[in-house]
């Protein structure tokens, strides 16, 4: 499916979808417990994959208040009712298919390490290319069995044999999800788990999201001098958990307001209540670039009224999902926008550094790419419509759609259906704001 975007001016109010990161963690935390209603979840493909994993471990998951399929036209389910497996997951009867969800794969790998038997985890072609080796080594080091069937550190994975807990050292610069997975599983082991980081932790705010969710479920974690620790023998308990709005998804709406707002108008994004989400940094990035932006934290609303943007340097070590959005902003801004500390962004659904460089060049931007950075030379760039490829990556599709709002001529973004991963109503929301966009 392709999205066709023509030059447009936008204005009005929009609500970003619920947080994918919080939804994943809340559903699995509820699975570790006895019974929880997760309200305002993101109803999309990835959280549904986590829900299926909870069911595979012996829980029951019901998406209520919407249709039986993710991302339906009425906004999806309003709640997820989870009857958990009460601490220790059962050995699954069948293979767990994580589809395209890297978060599901990693969080569920540690959970699978708790089973008495063995669980087999797999996913689509993209997911089967993503690195899992450090997490497999950690599970094995904690007394479980964890192997890649192809012995390359990638799925399919075979995991189980009742991981006991203890202390383990892992690199911090591959994925913070390894830490999240171990903390969530460690709470129900007898010994608990202490994670020592061998390298600097990238995407650190995502671990803080995990700790925030666990605290809401009554699970204690702590920072140590070298990493994190979760005591064992704990119980997950929460009758209800409300998912906050997603700042990664808000970034596209805010960027649209910054580059394409109608004269004397504004874009107001609702649902922006403060949380541990690192991607709330987009507000500061836009402010530094010169956007007229205001965040009313009490009301949970961010207002953008455009502005004359100038290039800045942005370190995305903690905010890898913002790279596509910032790259588009850089193509519109005057001067250079340098996105640094970005090597780990190459190991997402696709190599987002290379993909954004290629796509923006196809649209007329001047870019310089290194292994760990992307520089967009906005002063030398005039965006023009082109056909650019979403590469099966929801974040690329949405960022490139924003670029199409200010390109000269029509922009076609392939793979438009992939927005359903995190923002099922994205194109409808953009249309409501005034964007000239169609999907076919």
Determine what percent of the chain falls in helix, strand and coil, rounding each to the nearest 5: 35, 25, 40
CA–CA separation, 12 and 261 (whole Å) = 9
Of 421, 302, 433, 427, the residue nearest 42 (C-alpha): 421
The annotation status of 176 as a binding-site residue, yes or no, is: yes
The annotation status of 25 as a binding-site residue, yes or no, is: yes
The annotation status of 20 as a binding-site residue, yes or no, is: yes
Backbone angles phi, psi at 319, to 5 degrees: -135, 60
From the candidates 318, 321, 393, 420, give the one annotated as an active-site residue.
321
The annotation status of 284 as a binding-site residue, yes or no, is: no
Judging by beta carbons within 10 Å of its beta carbon (0-12, 13-18, 19+), is residue 183 exposed, middle or buried? Answer: buried
Q: Identify the bridge partners of residue 39 per DSSP, sorted by sequence position.
A: 79, 242
Whether 321 is a known active-site residue: answer: yes
CB 87 within 8 A of CB 235: yes
The annotation status of 381 as a binding-site residue, yes or no, is: no
- 3-state DSSP call for residue 163? coil
Q: How far is CA 355 from the centre of its chain?
A: 17
The annotation status of 202 as a binding-site residue, yes or no, is: no
Residue that is written with structure tokens 């906005």 in the block: 378
The annotation status of 154 as a binding-site residue, yes or no, is: no
CA–CA separation, 408 and 386 (whole Å) = 9
**What is the DSSP annotation of 314-362?**
EE-SS-GGGHHHHHHHHHHSBSEEEEES-GGGGGSSS-HHHHHHHHHHH
The annotation status of 318 as a binding-site residue, yes or no, is: no
The annotation status of 177 as a binding-site residue, yes or no, is: yes
Residue that is written with structure tokens 């499916």 in the block: 1
Q: Helix 102-112 and helix 20-32: axis angle, to 10°?
A: 20
CB 419 within 8 A of CB 427: yes
Backbone angles phi, psi at 349, to 5 degrees: -55, -30
CB 107 within 8 A of CB 25: yes
CA–CA separation, 270 and 250 (whole Å) = 9
The annotation status of 251 as a binding-site residue, yes or no, is: no
CA–CA separation, 14 and 418 (whole Å) = 20
Termini Cα distance of the chain = 5
The annotation status of 68 as a binding-site residue, yes or no, is: no
- 3-state DSSP call for residue 15? strand
CA–CA separation, 183 and 107 (whole Å) = 10
CA–CA separation, 311 and 329 (whole Å) = 8
- 3-state DSSP call for residue 170? strand
Q: Identify the bridge partners of residue 38 per DSSP, sorted by sequence position.
A: 80, 241
Provide the annotated binding site for phosphoenolpyruvate.
20, 102, 130, 177, 352, 395
Known catalytic residues?
A: 321
Provide the annotated binding site for 3-phosphoshikimate.
20-21, 25, 175-177, 203, 321, 348
Provide the annotated binding site.
20-21, 25, 102, 130, 175-177, 203, 321, 348, 352, 395
């Amino acid at each position: 499916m392709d999205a066709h975007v023509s030059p447009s001016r936008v204005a009005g109010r929009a609500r970003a979808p619920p947080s994918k990161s919080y939804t994943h963690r809340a559903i699995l935390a509820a699975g570790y417990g006895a019974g929880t209603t997760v309200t305002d979840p993101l109803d999309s493909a990835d959280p549904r994959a986590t829900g299926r994993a909870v069911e595979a471990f012996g829980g029951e998951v019901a998406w209520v208040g919407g249709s039986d399929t993710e991302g339906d036209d009425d906004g999806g389910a309003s709640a997820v009712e989870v009857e958990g497996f009460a601490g220790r997951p059962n050995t699954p009867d069948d293979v767990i298919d994580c589809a395209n969800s890297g978060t599901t794969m990693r969080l569920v790998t540690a959970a699978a390490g708790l089973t008495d038997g063995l669980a087999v985890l797999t996913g689509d072609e993209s997911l089967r290319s993503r690195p899992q080796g450090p997490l497999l080594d950690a599970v094995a080091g904690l007394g479980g069995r964890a192997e890649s069937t192809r012995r390359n550190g990638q799925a399919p994975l075979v995991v189980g044999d009742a991981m006991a807990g203890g202390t383990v050292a892992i690199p911090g610069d591959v994925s913070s999800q390894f830490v999240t997975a171990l903390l969530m599983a460690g709470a129900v082991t007898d010994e608990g788990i202490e994670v020592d980081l061998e390298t600097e932790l990238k995407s650190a705010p995502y671990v803080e999201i995990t700790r925030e969710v666990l605290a809401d479920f009554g699970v204690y974690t702590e920072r140590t001098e070298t990493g994190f620790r979760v005591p064992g023998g704990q119980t997950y308990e929460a009758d209800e958990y409300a998912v906050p709005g997603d700042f990664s998804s808000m970034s596209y709406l805010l960027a649209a307001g910054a580059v394409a707002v109608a004269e004397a108008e504004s874009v107001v994004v609702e649902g922006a209540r403060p949380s541990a989400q690192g991607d709330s940094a987009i507000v500061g990035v836009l402010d530094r670039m010169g956007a007229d932006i205001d965040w009313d934290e009490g009301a949970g609303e961010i207002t953008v009224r455009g502005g004359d943007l100038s290039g800045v340097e942005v370190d995305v070590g903690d905010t890898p999902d913002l790279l596509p959005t910032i790259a588009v902003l850089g193509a519109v801004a005057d001067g250079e926008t340098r996105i640094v500390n970005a090597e780990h962004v190459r190991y997402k659904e696709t190599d987002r550094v290379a993909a954004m460089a290629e796509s923006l060049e196809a649209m007329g931007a001047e870019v310089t790419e290194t292994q760990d950075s992307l520089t967009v030379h906005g002063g030398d760039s005039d965006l023009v419509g082109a056909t650019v490829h979403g590469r099966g990556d929801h974040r690329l599709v949405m960022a490139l759609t924003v670029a199409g709002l200010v390109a000269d001529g029509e922009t076609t973004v392939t793979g438009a259906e992939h927005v359903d991963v995190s923002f099922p109503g994205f194109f409808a929301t953009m249309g409501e704001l005034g964007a000239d966009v169609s999907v076919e």
